[in-house]
Structure 1
């Protein structure tokens, strides 16, 4: 079929409306059908190939891997880039901490701590990690009472709630910043992970000649009244996948230095008897702008 014939078929389908419709949904679906028809024609997609693709999407849904496939295809990163442009066009202050993808493993309801917290339950004997920093506006003014929600994997690349072997909310906390806008936490160094090797996400990635690995990283939501909510994550410097993340989440400005401490006086100061890693990282939030929706995206999220 040529383009005109394809459009004739798509228009006939679109014009079967018999009652009121959600015009935005209808416009998007009509366009999707037209574009899909064009793809089938351009690539001479066979019926066997089409139904294999349809069955693949069903498999993705059944395995609950949609939250892996979307970042793996770069879609979640693309949405972030669009939001960056939209904020700039709306006049949102420049100079804030870069955003990056949320991923699928956030869980609402983590315990709340004032100023500082210990994230791990002591069961994981991985490398000790102390992380600290300050939440400020773009002019450097501390933001007291901001909430820093943090979550990350254990030293095997697994997340609590999704990994039943871990205690509830292990490596997950909400920290309220102190009078100087500071937060602190003790944890263990996370490990990167890969998508399930026999799952549908890796099945497609393999056909694309790609891996499904993520570098070690730590997720954050940073929220304060009167400011734009920040969704971001830092990567652990030196991880072999830091610049080769299958989810395209690596952004400059989100790869802080990691300092390793072995000196007895440093251990004594922290009250530990093992060497530890330290990361300092500050968050900078732009002020909210009237008429511009907040940056926390409404989406389905897990709860414990």
Structure 2
């Protein structure tokens, strides 16, 4: 079937009518968004000569993704979550906001309500025999003043690439904590070095990435929300330097400013001082927060999250 069968003016008129633009009732913003999406979908179908079979295969695929609760995985996999971050970066720049820690994707594996600790915490439950990790730093504002009482909400995978509440059972809130910074904005935690991981084998997301000639792997990383009164919420993560997929993350989460060096500690005196009997790793990382500004786009994202079960 030849492409460009339908005049663009006819497509525009059909999309407008389907979106209810000729009706007084309804929500104006919904109409605006649906109209634009419908028109561009019709345009793509016509320009690429998408067949009936291809179209309905796409509908079935989206249905399977939704049934498998994979939308939160697919969206970063096709770079949309990263694109939203880039747009917010530019909107903040235009609003005169800069100097804060780089943001990056939240991902689909956050669980609210992790235990709250003062100044420091141990994230792991002691059952994972992976490499011990100590991470510490300070939370500052963009003028290098410490932010006391900030909440560093941290979550990451275990040494097998699994998160608590997802995958094989782990103790509740394993590798998830909220840490309140001290008077100097300091936080510290002990944990286990996370592993990278991939989309579940055979998942809909993996199938699509394979069809596009891409892999479905993420480098090892640690997620953070950092919040404080009067400051803009920071959603970010650090990536573990040296990971095979460090600069080839299927979810586009790596940013150069978020790759702190990893110090491997093998000195016996340092190991003893840390109360351990084997080598461990250290990461130092400071967060910089920007103050809220009237009229700036919000950094708090209202999205569905899994709940602790």
Matched with 2:66 is: 61
Q: 1:82 aligns with which of 87, 93, 96?
A: 87
Q: CA 1:281 to 1:216, structure 2 compared with 1: closer, same or farther past 3 Å?
A: same
Task: State yes or no: 1:184 paired with 2:185.
Answer: no
CA contact (8 A) 2:65 2:204 kept: yes
Gaps of 5+ in 2: 1-5
Please report the TM-score for the alignment, with normalisation by the length of structure 1: 0.97
Task: State yes or no: 1:260 paired with 2:264.
Answer: yes
DSSP 3-state at the match of 2:256: coil
Matched with 1:300 is: 304
Matched with 1:272 is: 276
For 1:204-235, what per-residue CA distance to the aligned partner results, in whole angstroms no more than 9, with x for missing partners? Answer: 11111111100000000001111111000000
CA contact (8 A) 2:218 2:250 kept: yes
Q: CA 1:11 to 1:180, structure 2 compared with 1: closer, same or farther past 3 Å?
A: closer
For 1:60-106, what per-residue CA distance to the aligned partner results, in whole angstroms no more than 9, with x for missing partners? Answer: 001111011000000000000000111111122x2111000000000
1:75 and 1:132 mapped to 2: Cα distance? Answer: 31
Query: After the TM superposition, which residues 11-26 of structure 1 pair with which residues of structure 2 at under 5 Å, given as runs?
Result: 11-15=16-20, 18-26=23-31
Matched with 1:38 is: 43
Task: State yes or no: 1:169 paired with 2:173.
Answer: yes
Q: 2:10 aligns with which of 5, 14, 21?
A: 5
What is the CA-CA distance between 1:19 and the residue it aligns to? 4.8
1:11 and 1:187 mapped to 2: Cα distance? Answer: 54
Task: State yes or no: 1:47 paired with 2:52.
Answer: yes
Gaps of 5+ in 1: none
DSSP 3-state at the match of 2:219: coil
Counting matched residue pairs gives 303
What is the CA-CA distance between 1:54 and the residue it aligns to? 0.2
What is the CA-CA distance between 1:138 and the residue it aligns to? 1.0
Matched with 1:125 is: 129
